[in-house]
Every structure is written in C-alpha cells, then in structure tokens.
C-alpha cells in the first residue's frame, strides 16, 4: 500500500546563513527541539512551524552533533565535538548541567568502541542497557550499572563503520553502516548459556539503495507499534518510509512517500508524530518541514477546474471582483483586498485553462495551514485517485531571503510544450515541472489576484484591514516560429498591431 504525504508547512528556523539542521526530537507540550550546524538548540511549536515563534537556548556545546530528549520531553541533552555535554530544562529554557566527556569515567573506561562514537540508544524498557556504535564497526550493548569493565559489555555485533544503530523494539537491534548496509540482530544479553554458534542469524539486508530504491538511508524509526526505515532520494526530492521487521526484512508494499522533501538537499532527521498523523523532517537546506497524508489534513491542490457558478463571467464580475480595488499609482499596478476578517493571501502570475494551470502563489502569515509559503504549481497536481503528482508542486518558505514578500522580486515562469514549465525568482531556477504542461491549442489568460476566502487549507481568513499588492512590471513573451493565420486575423479584428491592442505580444 502506497501512501503519499504532502508538505503541510515548513520553516527555516535559524537566523544564520548556510545552516544545516542536524537533528530534531519531540518535546513536551507539542514542541520540537532542533540542533543546527550553527551550534544552536532551537525550540519550536510542532502545531505551527514558524521561525518567528521559537526559542533559542544558550550554552550549546561547540560543534554540536547529537540531540536526545528525556524525562517525558522536558529535558534536552546535547553533545558537541568539543567533548562537552549539556543538559537543558525545557520548561525554563535554562541549562541545568554541563560537563566534559573527560569526566565520563564509566563511558571512557568501559566502552569497547575504539574510534568515534556515532550512535547511542537506551533500551525502551530496561534503562540500564545502553547501545553504542562507532567508526570501528562494532555495535555494543552495555549494562551501565555494572562497574567492572569486562563484565559491563553484554553483547557486541560486528557490522562495519556504524552510521546509525539502535534498539528495534524490546528483543532486537539494528545496525546501519556508512555504506548504507542494514542488518537486524537479536538481543542476546540474557542468554548467558548460549554458545556463539547458536546465536540467531542476523537478517543481513545489504545495501538498501537498489532495493528501496533510494540514494541514501537516513535511519530506522518507530512508527506506532512498527518500525520503518527512512530513505532519501535528493534527485527526486522525496523520502520513502518502508516497513522493516526482524524475520521478514523490508516490506516494499507498505510504503509512505514524503513528496517534495527539501528539494535536492540531504534529509538529516525524521520524526513520526503518530498521534497527530504528522511526519517531520530536517535537512541540509536549513529547513524543518511537516508532512501529512494527502486528502486528509493537507490543503488540496487544485485539480482540473470544473464549471461552477463563480466561473460564470457575469457572476464573477459582481460577486468576486471590484474594479475600484485596482489602480495605477506611481507607475505601479496597485491591487487591494478590502479588509474583511483576519489574514490575506496574495497570488502572483497565474495562467489557467480548464486542462492546465500554472501558478506562483504566496500565502502570507495568517491562519492558513500552509501560511508563510510560496508555491510553484502546475495543475492538475492530483491524479485520478486524488494522490499528488510527483513534481507538480513545490512549497518554499517565505523566510528564505530570496522570497521575502516585503521586497520586489521578479517572479517568472517559462512554459514550453516539450521542455516543461520552469519557475524562476530573480533569475534563479527554483523548480521545473514536465507534467500537465500547456500544449498547442490550449487557450488561457494571464491573471494577477489578491484574495482570501476563509479556506484554512489554502488562503486562510481575510484581513481586518486593507491589504495591498504592488506590481512594478508585467512582461509577457509569446514565441512562434511559424505564421499563425488565426492569431493574425484576431489581431487585425482588434484594430491591428499597436501598443493599445491586446494582440501585441513580443
């Protein structure tokens, strides 16, 4: 069964440039903790990802690389490349404990990992069992209550340079190597009398990249009572979550796809919020994104349009548009949405047809579930079963400097029946789509709108004050390499080519 999740919201929480988000973890009261390559520990609201609504905790170790949340989501533990470990009380936002790893006598004395430790995990029900993994390729289970060095090591598994490792439920563990090989092992710490040759054979699943298929493996995660392996494909801007189980391996027929995940950047961390049906991701583009199942809690993308009363031009003129809200002022086209309720939605440059529509849409901060984003979409963006069409739409955060709604930007799209639709912002390519591209014979119009209709899936509620959209320049090019008698006749009927006729398109 394939389930496709579409991005619901997202933000770039760090105020620094060129930042990676290394890891995310859930905290109490619907919070989300994140660490970044700028040595930041950030706290966000899981229900409303917004870079303007977060807290930055002070005293994070330098070169922070790991994040663990404990005590029912009220404590965050960060470790850095400088050897320091810091504990934070998330209820007060203060650092409570800080020490250097040199003082970790037990760990330094007892660990059998001889190189850098890359993975730590506590058993889900036995607090004294600690699993470690490192560059030397060994995953070890220790009993931290045992002081004797030789006795504290209960189990060791050779696998290869460890990228990720952890407990897989109560009875098993997993080890993922840096070359993307995954193996599942049984925990044998209670089987003192079991001979080595009687240890249950591991499920060696090998390199997952050709199996899933994917381009890299992120980690193994718990999703409800089951576990999934998260795999990324940056060339396709997607993350696949595939069920994994000891004894049966990978179940490719049970798959969740996060479409449009972090563009072409690597996804570093994934968290599954089973209670709210939301999957959070963090990546090397510096963003955190939330995904939900298409058709349930995501804003529906607009499929091919059907005729409804408001599509009647006579109704539309009176019910939807008011000429008094449009004026030319200081050589700018000024469009106004009269104050009505709460928030606003601005939509730039839309070319539409009953069979195809090209949109660049800015959803400003407000009540929309996709607030503070810009979308580049080619409609229909859903297939016949209501699932999102890969690559049909891309959402980016308005917090990214190149998309700021408070400054003039050049938003542009190029449409070609063979090359597809390419979207640009200030001359920089941000998205390309080759599905549902307008083709020869499709009529259409160029539309500029500012609107809100109280739809929480998209526009949100309108603003209580007037909202203005200022357009500095509109440029349209139509390229044809062969004479078009019908267009020429229509142009002549309109009065001939001139600066005053609508047929003058360069």
Residue 442 pLDDT > 80: no
223-229, long-range: CB within 8 Å, 24+ apart, which pairs?
A: 223/272, 223/274, 224/274, 227/168, 227/169, 228/256, 228/272, 229/182
Mean of all residue pLDDT scores within the chain = 78
Backbone phi and psi for residue 447, each to the nearest 5 degrees, phi listed first: -125, 140
Residue 194 falls within a domain, yes or no?
Answer: yes
Residue 480 pLDDT > 90: no
Q: Please indicate, yes or no, whether residues 190 and 316 belong to a single structural domain of this protein.
A: no
Q: Which H, E and C letters describe 115-157, residue by residue? A: CCEEEEEECCCCCCEEEEEECCCEEEEEECCCCCHHHHEEEEE
What's the sign of the alpha-carbon dihedral 90, 93, 99, 101? positive
What share of the chain has pLDDT > 90, as a percent? 24
Query: To 10 degrees, the CA torsion angle through 167, 169, 175, 179?
Result: -120
Q: Report the pLDDT value the prediction gives residue 65, as an integer from 0 to 100.
A: 79
Q: Please indicate, yes or no, whether residues 337 and 196 belong to a single structural domain of this protein.
A: no
Residue 338 falls within a domain, yes or no?
Answer: yes
Q: Report the pLDDT value the prediction gives residue 38, as an integer from 0 to 100.
A: 94
Helix or strand holding residue 318 (H, E): helix 313-319
Residue 214 falls within a domain, yes or no?
Answer: no
Residue 115 pLDDT > 70: no
Mean predicted confidence (pLDDT) in 314-323: 43
Q: Please indicate, yes or no, whether residues 191 and 334 belong to a single structural domain of this protein.
A: no
CA distances from 441 to 311, 339, 438 (A): 21, 40, 9
Threshold 0.75, pTM exceeds: no
Name the pairing type of β-strands 326-329 and 428-433.
unpaired
pLDDT tens digits, 72-98: 788 888 877 776 778 899 988 888 887
Q: Please indicate, yes or no, whether residues 464 and 316 belong to a single structural domain of this protein.
A: yes
Q: Please indicate, yes or no, whether residues 355 and 466 belong to a single structural domain of this protein.
A: yes
CA distances from 501 to 248, 331, 396, 443 (A): 69, 20, 37, 18
Residue 187 pLDDT > 70: yes
Q: Please indicate, yes or no, whether residues 328 and 459 belong to a single structural domain of this protein.
A: yes
Backbone phi and psi for residue 78, each to the nearest 5 degrees, phi listed first: -120, 140
Residue 3 falls within a domain, yes or no?
Answer: no
Q: Are 128 and 134 in contact (CB under 8 A)?
A: no
**Nearest to 269, CA basis, from 218, 320, 321:** 218
What's the domain count of the chain? Answer: 2
**Nearest to 253, CA basis, from 262, 265, 264, 240:** 240
Q: Report the pLDDT value the prediction gives residue 372, as an integer from 0 to 100.
A: 80
Q: Please indicate, yes or no, whether residues 324 and 182 belong to a single structural domain of this protein.
A: no
Query: To 10 degrees, the CA torsion angle through 377, 450, 47, 166?
Result: 20
Specify the higher pLDDT residue, 114 or 148.
148
Q: Report the pLDDT value the prediction gives residue 153, as an integer from 0 to 100.
A: 87
Q: Report the pLDDT value the prediction gives residue 106, as an integer from 0 to 100.
A: 42
Looking up residue 200, the CATH number of its domain turns out to be: 2.40.10
Residue 37 falls within a domain, yes or no?
Answer: no
**How far apart, in whole angstroms, are the C-alpha atoms of residue 435 and residue 367?**
31
Residue 142 falls within a domain, yes or no?
Answer: yes
- Beta-bridge mates of residue 445: 352
Residue 241 falls within a domain, yes or no?
Answer: no
pLDDT tens digits, 203-224: 999 999 999 999 999 999 988 7
Q: Please indicate, yes or no, whether residues 193 and 313 belong to a single structural domain of this protein.
A: no
**Nearest to 67, CA basis, from 287, 268, 273:** 268
Q: Which H, E and C letters describe 99-116, residue by residue? A: EEHHHCHHHHHHCCCCCC
Last residue of a domain, one of 207, 231, 247: 207
Looking up residue 380, the CATH number of its domain turns out to be: 2.60.120.200
Q: Are 153 and 109 in contact (CB under 8 A)?
A: no
Q: Report the pLDDT value the prediction gives residue 451, as an integer from 0 to 100.
A: 76
Q: Please indicate, yes or no, whether residues 315 and 457 belong to a single structural domain of this protein.
A: yes
Which range scores top for mean pLDDT: 24-28, 104-108, 359-363? 24-28
Domain extent, residue 397, equals: 309-475
Residue 466 falls within a domain, yes or no?
Answer: yes
Q: Please indicate, yes or no, whether residues 322 and 197 belong to a single structural domain of this protein.
A: no
**How far apart, in whole angstroms, are the C-alpha atoms of residue 353 and residue 2?**
30
Which range scores top for mean pLDDT: 167-171, 364-368, 475-479? 167-171
Range with lowest mean pLDDT among 213-222, 250-259, 363-372: 363-372
pLDDT tens digits, 18-61: 999 999 999 988 899 999 999 999 999 988 888 777 899 999 98
Last residue of a domain, one of 177, 207, 237: 207
Q: Report the pLDDT value the prediction gives residue 503, as an integer from 0 to 100.
A: 56
Mean predicted confidence (pLDDT) in 98-123: 57
pLDDT tens digits, 388-439: 566 677 878 887 777 777 778 888 888 887 888 889 988 889 888 877 777 7
Specify the higher pLDDT residue, 479 or 438.
438
């Amino acid at each position: 069964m394939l389930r496709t999740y579409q991005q619901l919201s997202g933000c770039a929480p760090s105020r620094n440039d060129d930042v990676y988000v290394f890891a995310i973890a859930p905290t109490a009261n619907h919070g989300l903790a994140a660490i970044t390559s700028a040595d930041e520990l950030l706290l966000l609201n899981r229900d409303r990802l917004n870079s303007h609504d977060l807290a930055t905790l002070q005293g994070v170790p330098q070169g922070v690389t790991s994040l663990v949340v404990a005590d029912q989501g009220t404590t965050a533990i960060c470790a850095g490349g400088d050897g320091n470990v810091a504990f934070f009380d998330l209820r007060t936002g203060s650092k409570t404990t800080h020490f250097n790893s040199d003082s970790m006598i037990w760990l330094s004395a007892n660990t059998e990992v001889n190189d850098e430790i890359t993975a730590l995990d506590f058993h889900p029900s036995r607090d004294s069992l600690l699993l470690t993994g490192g560059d030397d390729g060994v995953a070890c289970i220790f009993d931290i209550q045992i002081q004797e060095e030789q006795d504290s090591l209960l189990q060791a598994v050779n696998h290869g340079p460890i990228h990720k490792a952890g407990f897989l439920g109560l009875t098993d563990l997993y080890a993922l190597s840096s070359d993307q090989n995954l193996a599942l092992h049984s925990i044998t710490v209670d089987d003192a009398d079991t001979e080595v040759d009687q240890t249950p054979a591991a499920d060696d699943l090998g390199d997952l990249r050709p199996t899933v298929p994917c381009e890299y493996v992120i980690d193994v995660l718990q999703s409800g009572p089951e576990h999934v392996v998260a795999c990324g494909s940056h060339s396709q801007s997607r993350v696949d979550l595939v069920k994994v189980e000891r004894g049966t391996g990978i179940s490719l027929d049970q798959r969740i796809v996060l479409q449009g995940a972090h563009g072409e950047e690597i996804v570093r961390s994934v968290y599954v919020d089973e209670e709210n049906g939301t999957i959070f991701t963090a990546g090397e583009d510096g963003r955190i994104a939330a995904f939900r199942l298409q058709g349930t809690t995501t804003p529906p993308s607009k499929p091919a349009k059907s005729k409804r009363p408001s599509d009647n031009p006579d109704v539309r003129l009176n019910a939807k548009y008011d000429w008094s809200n449009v004026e030319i002022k200081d050589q700018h086209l000024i469009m106004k949405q009269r104050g009505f309720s709460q928030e606003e939605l601005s939509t730039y440059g839309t070319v539409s047809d009953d069979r195809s529509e090209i949109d660049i849409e800015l959803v400003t901060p407000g009540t929309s579930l996709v607030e503070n984003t810009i979308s580049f979409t080619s409609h229909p963006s859903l297939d016949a079963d209501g699932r999102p069409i890969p690559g049909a739409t891309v959402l980016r955060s308005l917090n990214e400097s190149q998309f700021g709604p408070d400054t003039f930007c050049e938003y542009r799209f190029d449409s070609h029946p063979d090359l597809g639709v390419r979207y640009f912002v200030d001359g920089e390519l941000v998205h390309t789509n080759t599905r549902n591209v307008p083709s020869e014979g499709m009529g259409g119009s160029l539309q500029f709108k500012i609107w809100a209709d109280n739809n929480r899936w998209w526009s949100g509620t309108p603003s209580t004050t007037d909202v203005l959209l200022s357009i500095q320049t509109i440029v349209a090019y139509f390229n044809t390499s062969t004479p078009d008698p019908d267009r020429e006749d229509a142009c002549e009927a309109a009065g001939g080519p001139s600066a005053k006729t609508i047929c003058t398109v360069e």
